[in-house]
Amino acid sequence: MREDILNDSGAPFDLDKTRIIHQVFLVPPEQRNDEWLKVFRDNIWHATLQMREPQVIKGPDGFPYLNMSIPEPGKPFESYCVSHVANFCLENGYGIAIFMPGNDTPLWVFGMGMIDSLVRHKSWEGKYSTAGNGGVGEKKEVLVGSPSEDYLPVYARNFISVLMKAYGLAQPKVGNLFDPGVGASLMLNCRVDDFADQETANSLANRVLWYLTPGIGVVFLPQGWDDKNLLPIS
């Protein structure tokens, strides 16, 4: 099995996988290597977890996360697992944060785009390659079209629309930008000059990325381009 492919064998609520994940998280961060990552990926999807209170928390990035943890030994709990709550997260625009009991520093965090990739593509690295973030060279020959449902599902479009409006974009549009030899990115119908500064523009791009599967970049509309080929998502 390729290392980027989700190992979804077995059944949900697997306590053996929970024990493995517990041991995995005891390894200090500086000692975690490719083998550590493989063991984590092979076991986290169906490992039994528990929900903490409050069940939804706001991360330092401003996004909502389901608040989950490794179960406390010897204490009763209601069983959850990542595979069990994944579709709920996609419907509600949630990520997942996983903690050790009694610790408020997350051991692992899933953005919504990563959850989407695991559910639909069964991949940790996504299905599409990126053309980068931020801008497009003026002289490049590129293709722009409406993103497919597979590339940008309706639930992701809706959340991105709300986000773009929060940044002052009254009529959000997006397009699938394909740059031969490089890959594909999501184009937004705004330019860096539309924002107060570069930092604000970068903030929007990074927040849009949270909703996208790995491998999809975000670019702004270049100067001299119009948005007639972009898809309205408001």
Q: What b/e sequence results for 27-66 when a residue is b if at least 16 CB atoms lie within 10 Å of its CB, and e otherwise? A: eeeeeeeeeeeebbbbbbbbbbbbbbeeeebeeeeebbbb
Please spell the DSSP secondary structure of 35-67, one letter per residue: HHHHHHHHHHTTB-BEEEEEEEEE-TTS-EEEE
- Give the pair of three-digit tokens for residue 178: 């394909």
Which positions ≥6 away from 203 have C-beta within 8 Å?
Answer: none
pLDDT at position 184: 77
d(CA 80, CA 111) in angstroms, rounded, equals 18
Q: Residues 55-58: contacts with CB within 8 Å, 24+ apart?
A: 56/94, 57/97
pLDDT at position 35: 96
State CA 196 to chain mean position distance. Answer: 26
pLDDT at position 140: 54
Domains and CATH numbers, the chain: 15-121 (no CATH), 143-232 (3.30.70)
What's the pLDDT band for 138 if we cut at 50, 70, 90?
Answer: very low
Please spell the DSSP secondary structure of 182-221, one letter per residue: TEEEEEES--GGGSSSHHHHHHHHHHHHTTSPTT-EEEEP
pLDDT at position 1: 42
Single-letter amino acid, residue 183 = G
Does 10 have pLDDT greater than 90?
no
pTM over the 0.85 mark? yes
- Give the pair of three-digit tokens for residue 203: 């903030």
Does 137 have pLDDT greater than 50?
no
Task: Report in angstroms the alpha-carbon separations of 130 from 43, 177, 180.
Answer: 28, 10, 11
pLDDT at position 131: 53
d(CA 141, CA 178) in angstroms, rounded, equals 9
d(CA 215, CA 234) in angstroms, rounded, equals 24
Does 134 have pLDDT greater than 70?
no
What's the pLDDT band for 106 if we cut at 50, 70, 90?
Answer: very high
Higher pLDDT pick, 142 / 32:
32
pLDDT at position 139: 43
Q: What b/e sequence results for 110-125 when a residue is b if at least 16 CB atoms lie within 10 Å of its CB, and e otherwise? A: bbbbbbbbbbebebbb
161-165, 209-213, 221-225: the lowest-pLDDT one: 221-225
Angle, CA 176 vertex, CA 187 and CA 119 arms, to 5°: 105
d(CA 151, CA 28) in angstroms, rounded, equals 36
10-19, 69-78, 121-130, 201-210: the lowest-pLDDT one: 121-130
Does 214 have pLDDT greater than 70?
yes
Nearest to 49 by CA among 84, 23, 25: 84
Single-letter amino acid, residue 217 = G
Does 97 have pLDDT greater than 50?
yes
